[in-house]
């Protein structure tokens, strides 16, 4: 009995020592973070607007954290391939993810994703936002959102609009406007905004939403008429263009947003360190100026804000997709 009791005591002592050592090692690892390069996964091709913004951010984040940040483009399935890679990565803070609207929209449109957007990612920080803008061909007899709504109501099903593709933010922006105003427009999807713009400029389609940065030059030259921006506030690049919310559609708000995420399970202390670094980067005057030149609004936030934003977007786009009868995969 005494031998057995002594043996049990030794086993418990060893287990306690092992646990204490593991906790000590884990704490030391968190305190030393980061002590090696970090990969920053982007779900879109190199050279595009999202990639450019991600690289601007990553370069400065590297300076703040004192470690290389390696941008890794993993293209495919609208960003879902990149998301899956990050969701399955070791939750040690050395694999991060640049993602925004697509994280929510893919979850609404694709029912068999190998990850869960809420469960499998830890929000770190919202970084920046971009408004969409509602534009029409100059021949359209509408100079405001209210006039376009009235014109569409007088011509139900006779006005077509283009988008960069089914389920993309510009498409869903118009479907949200349709549902909030009761107008009937015909959707013409394209493979990207460039071919859609060719047909809009040629008058083959009459209207479309698009990311504001790509349309600033066309708006200023008069090639298209801007009726409203989708954000809650007017944009400094087109200050004379009202928001859609102030143009008679209260509650209408859509922004393309970009945030930084980590795999679920990353220690809270690492998330806090990354959030502080991300906020510091996005508040740097040179970073704010550079992203503003690209038509993007810096919007650093807390992890909780980013997490709440994702849940809000999932709810919003689920309703829009259902109301519009957009097929899901």
Whether pLDDT at 22 is above 50: no
pLDDT at 24: 44
What distance in Å separates the CA atoms of residue 85 and residue 257, rounded to the nearest whole number?
Answer: 21
Residue written as tokens 């609009």? 161
What distance in Å separates the CA atoms of residue 254 and residue 132, rounded to the nearest whole number?
Answer: 7
pLDDT band at 23 (very low <50, low <70, confident <90, very high): very low
What distance in Å separates the CA atoms of residue 65 and residue 197, rounded to the nearest whole number?
Answer: 41
- Going by C-alpha positions, the residue among 152, 135, 128, 100 that lies closest to residue 229 is 135
- Which pair of tokens denotes residue 121? 């990612």
Question: Quick check: do 37-129+256-324 and 131-247 share a fold?
Answer: yes
- Which pair of tokens denotes residue 152? 């569409």
Instruction: Identify whether the C-beta of residue 259 lies closer than 8 Å to the C-beta of residue 100.
Output: yes
At 70, is the secondary structure helix, strand, or coil?
A: strand
pLDDT at 17: 54
At 285, is the secondary structure helix, strand, or coil?
A: helix
Phi, psi dihedral angles at 188 (to 5 degrees)? -120, 100
Q: Supply the pTM of this predicted model.
A: 0.86
What distance in Å separates the CA atoms of residue 261 and residue 96, rounded to the nearest whole number?
Answer: 6
Q: Quick one: fold of 131-247? A: D-Maltodextrin-Binding Protein; domain 2 (3.40.190)
Instruction: Report, as an integer, the average pLDDT of 140-165.
Output: 96
Instruction: Report, as an integer, the average pLDDT of 64-91.
Output: 94
What distance in Å separates the CA atoms of residue 129 and residue 253, rounded to the nearest whole number?
Answer: 12
Whether pLDDT at 29 is above 60: yes
**Is the four-CA dihedral 150, 153, 155, 159 of positive or negative sign?**
positive
Whether pLDDT at 13 is above 60: no
Instruction: Report, as an integer, the average pLDDT of 287-311.
Output: 94
Q: Write down the mean pLDDT value for the chain.
A: 91
- Which pair of tokens denotes residue 269? 């202390």
Instruction: Report, as an integer, the average pLDDT of 62-79.
Output: 94
Phi, psi dihedral angles at 74 (to 5 degrees)? -120, 95
Tell me the domain boundaries of the chain. Answer: 37-129+256-324, 131-247
- Going by C-alpha positions, the residue among 280, 301, 278, 282 that lies closest to residue 290 is 282
pLDDT band at 2 (very low <50, low <70, confident <90, very high): low
pLDDT band at 11 (very low <50, low <70, confident <90, very high): low
pLDDT band at 21 (very low <50, low <70, confident <90, very high): very low
What distance in Å separates the CA atoms of residue 26 and residue 321, rounded to the nearest whole number?
Answer: 44
Percent of the chain with pLDDT over 90: 79
Percent of the chain with pLDDT over 70: 91
Rounded-to-10 torsion of CA 195, 128, 62, 266: -110
Instruction: Report, as an integer, the average pLDDT of 234-240.
Output: 92
Higher pLDDT, 2 or 245: 245
Instruction: Identify whether the C-beta of residue 93 lies closer than 8 Å to the C-beta of residue 272.
Output: no
Least confident piece of the model among 7-11, 23-27, 199-203, 252-256: 23-27
pLDDT at 104: 94
Residue written as tokens 């040629």? 202
pLDDT in tens, 277-288: 999 999 999 999
pLDDT at 120: 98
pLDDT in tens, 204-217: 999 999 999 889 99
What distance in Å separates the CA atoms of residue 305 and residue 289, rounded to the nearest whole number?
Answer: 24
Q: Which class is 37-129+256-324 in CATH? A: alpha beta
- Which pair of tokens denotes residue 34? 């980061």
Whether pLDDT at 4 is above 60: no
pLDDT in tens, 180-199: 999 999 999 998 889 999 99
């Amino acid at each position: 009995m005494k031998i057995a009791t002594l043996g049990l005591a030794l086993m418990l002592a060893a287990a306690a020592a092992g646990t204490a050592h593991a906790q000590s090692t884990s704490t030391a690892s968190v305190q030393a973070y980061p002590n090696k390069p970090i990969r920053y996964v982007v779900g879109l091709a190199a050279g595009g607007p999202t990639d450019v913004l991600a690289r601007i951010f990553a370069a400065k984040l590297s300076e703040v954290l004192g470690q290389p940040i390696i941008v890794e483009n993993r293209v495919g399935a609208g960003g879902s391939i990149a998301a899956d890679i990050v969701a399955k990565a070791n939750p040690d803070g050395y694999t991060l993810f640049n993602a925004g609207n697509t994280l929510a929209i893919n979850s609404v449109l694709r029912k068999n994703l190998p990850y869960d957007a809420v469960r499998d990612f830890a929000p770190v920080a919202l970084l920046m936002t971009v408004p969409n803008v509602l534009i029409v061909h100059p021949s359209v007899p509408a100079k405001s959102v209210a006039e376009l709504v009235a014109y569409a109501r007088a011509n139900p099903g006779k006005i077509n609009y283009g988008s960069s593709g089914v389920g993309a933010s510009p498409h869903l922006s118009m479907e949200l406007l349709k549902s909030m105003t009761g107008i009937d427009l015909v959707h013409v999807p394209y493979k990207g905004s460039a071919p859609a713009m060719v047909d809009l400029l040629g008058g083959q389609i009459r209207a479309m939403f698009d990311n504001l940065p790509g349309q600033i030059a066309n708006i200023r030259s008069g090639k298209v008429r801007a009726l409203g921006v989708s954000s809650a506030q007017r944009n400094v690049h087109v200050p004379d263009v009202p928001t859609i919310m102030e143009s008679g559609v209260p509650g209408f708000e859509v922004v393309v947003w970009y945030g930084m995420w980590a795999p679920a399970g990353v220690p809270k202390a690492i998330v806090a360190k990354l959030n502080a670094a991300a906020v510091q980067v996005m508040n740097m005057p040179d970073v704010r100026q550079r992203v503003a030149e690209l038509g993007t609004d810096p919007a650093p936030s807390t992890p909780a804000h980013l997490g709440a934003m994702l849940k809000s977007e999932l709810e919003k786009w689920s309703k829009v997709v259902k109301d519009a009868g957009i097929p899901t995969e």
